[in-house]
Amino acid sequence: MTRTLASAQPFAFSFNPATTALIIIDMQRDFLEPGGFGAALGNDVTPLRAIIPTVAQLLHAARAAGLVIIHTRECHRPDMSDCPASKRLRGDPSLRIGDEGPMGRILIADSQGAALIPELMALPGEIVLDKPGKGAFYATSLTDILTDRGIRQIIFAGVTTEVCVQTTMREANDRGYDCLLIEDATESYFPAFKAATLEMIRAQGAIVGWTASCAQLLEVLDA
């Protein structure tokens, strides 16, 4: 049954739970905990950790509504054959991708740091998709996953708003999916970047997608 989120911006967002997926982007220890890659870049992880309760509330509601649940993790093979030098050598972090950190090798698959945070662990049957890039469609099976399940609309949460979340939303938009970003279930290390991304997404008649708060969405999901 189609449901309409009238309070979405820039105008109402309609979706059918049976054809909708929730994609939670990169809620990993390396990005949200001290000692991880986010902190190694010189960032304060506190703003990202602040959204954990909201993302958990969204995840619980999506499970209850029967949405397809997909968790993504940005990480690389142990031999780093899928991590180009243009990515690994950029900037001057205290730890680079592949280096040994407090939670194992930074952003390497199966390391402790690459794991989802304990508060948002996937349940059996939920999809955990490892991605080597910022966008979740690049070098992954996401297109097949969505197609096989008849997905037409995607709800997004996760980090960071202006990098992996926005990149994946733009990729999804180009592939014909209607996309909704939950404003208080996404975050950036830089508040101004998040604010600008929200404006860009919903500009010019939802050129990339729609935005709404978690409470607004849950009111419709629970109806």
Catalytic residue positions, numbered: 26, 131, 164
Contact 1, 176 (CB under 8 A): no
* CA 59/CA 39 separation, integer angstroms: 26
* CA 172/CA 174 separation, integer angstroms: 5
Measured from the Cβ of residue 97, the count of other Cβ atoms closer than 10 Å reads 21
Measured from the Cβ of residue 3, the count of other Cβ atoms closer than 10 Å reads 15
Max Cα-Cα span within the chain: 50
